[in-house]
Amino acid sequence: MSRSSNKKPVGFATHITAGGIAGACEALVCQPLDTIKVRMQLSKSGRAPGTKPRGVFATASYIVRRETPLALYKGLGAVLSGIVPKMAIRFASFEAYKGWLADKTTGKTSVGGIFIAGLGAGTTEAVLVVNPMEVVKIRLQAQQHSLADPLDTPRYRNAGHAVYTIIREEGFATLYRGVTLTALRQATNQGANFTAYQEIKKLAHKFQPDLVELPSYQHMFIGLISGAMGPFSNAPIDTIKTRLQKATAAPGVSAFQRIFAIASDMWKQEGFRSFYKGITPRVLRVAPGQAIVFAVYERVSNLMEKITTTREDDGYSE
């Protein structure tokens, strides 16, 4: 994602390292907001007439009061174990698709091509990494046990135990429950995310022609804007997916029937607003998360490019 067309393409090892470090930083900072989002999406509060759904601060306070502050990091193990391959696949596949869609003469990719590359990257990461990781993460986050009480034993002790228990009791296919919705969510997320990031980055360079590379705070600001676009476009998909992945499958019921039943029940019992439950913590998590990801990714990949260039071409500095 470098500005100069004269530079060598960033290697796959750079995508793995830069993407993994960026993803780990994002997870450590933003996991509490993701836990709050999941609890809000799973909550049935607000169903009774005259009552309102529990908000962001009320949900956070409820979790901390009943389960200790560490409960906000439930599911972090599942996230960290999947974040390195997820980010490596995201950036590597995006650059690959972008290269395939580039004009053979100029080497440049159109806005439409960037959007399609983002769709492809989101779909690829969803199928290979995100869906299994999220099934495990949601199961861990949905457990409302107190971490301060050793006698309050949860069903899933950690990410590894959750994977083992899910496969043993419900089968391997359970890890791919909701994969269509996850792929649709990730595709629209990354399509909007990469397109907005690339176009705003071009605009920033246009107004600052003397800068070879943008400073980190500008990468963070651009990532913040681009990261906020996805959640607003696909919040209903994410809420239905969360409820689908948390529930156990009923025998003889297809995935489409379960999705339709969940959406229908939400509409009848909780109304239109229920499809946007958790949108505030999701935006507060995803937007700053993308700001961190892009800033760290750009910085680490640039450093790795410089180190590689110095080693391979030490005598050609200008």
DSSP code at position 303: H
* Confidence at 313, pLDDT banded by 50, 70, 90: low
CA angle, 180 as apex, 295 and 160 as ends, to 5°?
A: 70
Angle between helices 179-207 and 216-246 (to 10 degrees): 170
pLDDT at 265: 92
pLDDT at 246: 83
Q: What is the average pLDDT score of the chain?
A: 86
Distant-in-sequence contacts of 216-221, Cβ < 8 A, 24+ apart: 216/295, 216/298, 216/299, 217/295, 219/291, 219/294, 219/295, 219/298, 219/299, 220/291, 220/292, 220/294, 220/295, 221/291
The dihedral formed by the CA atoms of 47, 49, 55 and 60, expressed in degrees to the nearest 10: -60
Kindly tell me if the per-residue pLDDT of 152 is higher than 60.
Answer: yes
Kindly tell me if the per-residue pLDDT of 7 is higher than 60.
Answer: no
Kindly tell me if the per-residue pLDDT of 294 is higher than 90.
Answer: yes
The arithmetic mean of pLDDT across residues 128-154, rounded, is 81
- Residues 227, 295: contact at Cβ < 8 Å? no
- Residues 142, 246: contact at Cβ < 8 Å? yes
Cα distances from 4 to residues 9, 109, 219, 309, in angstroms, run: 10, 14, 16, 14
The tens digit of pLDDT for each residue in 81-116 reads 888 788 888 988 998 899 899 998 888 999 999 999
DSSP code at position 126: I
Q: Is 161 exposed, middle or buried, given 0-12, 13-18 or 19+ CB atoms closer than 10 A?
A: middle
Cα distances from 24 to residues 170, 215, 234, 261, 269, in angstroms, run: 30, 21, 24, 36, 38
Q: From the centroid of its chain, how far is CA 164?
A: 24
- Residues 20, 88: contact at Cβ < 8 Å? yes
* Confidence at 149, pLDDT banded by 50, 70, 90: low
**Which two tokens mark 87?**
């980010």
* Confidence at 225, pLDDT banded by 50, 70, 90: very high
Helix extents (H) in the chain: 12-42, 56-67, 76-100, 111-125, 131-141, 159-170, 179-207, 216-246, 255-269, 279-312
